[in-house]
A = this chain, B = another copy of it.
Amino acid sequence: MYSPDVKVIDVGRRPIDDYIFDIIVSFREGVNEVILKGRGDTISKAVDLYWKLKDRLGDSIELVKVDIGSERFRGRTKSYIALRVRRKY
């Protein structure tokens, strides 16, 4: 579905700093784009994660697109958000 230089980050119950650490490591390893995906209650957390990442990385990242949707997840229909974040340099 996505090329290997794109990584999907499923935002769950881990602390936001853990995700930030993972993303920074991924960028260093050559990933060009991350998709921050939040479902249901973690939609808000995905948006917070984006802003904390932006505070940390500043102009070296850009928000390419924000999608929202609704999908079956573990047997229930849940809203989701997908924030596509690209590394610029």
Contact = CB atoms under 8 A, between A and B. Distances in A.
Interface of A: 38, 40-44, 47-48, 50-51, 54, 63, 66-68, 70, 79-81, 83
A73 to B, nearest CB: 13
A51 to B, nearest CB: 5
Given A66-B68, A68-B63, A40 B44 contact: yes
26 contacts: A38-B44, A40-B44, A40-B48, A41-B44, A42-B44, A43-B43, A43-B44, A43-B47, A44-B44, A44-B79, A47-B68, A47-B79, A47-B80, A47-B81, A48-B79, A50-B68, A50-B79, A51-B70, A51-B79, A54-B70, A63-B68, A66-B66, A66-B67, A66-B68, A68-B83, A81-B81
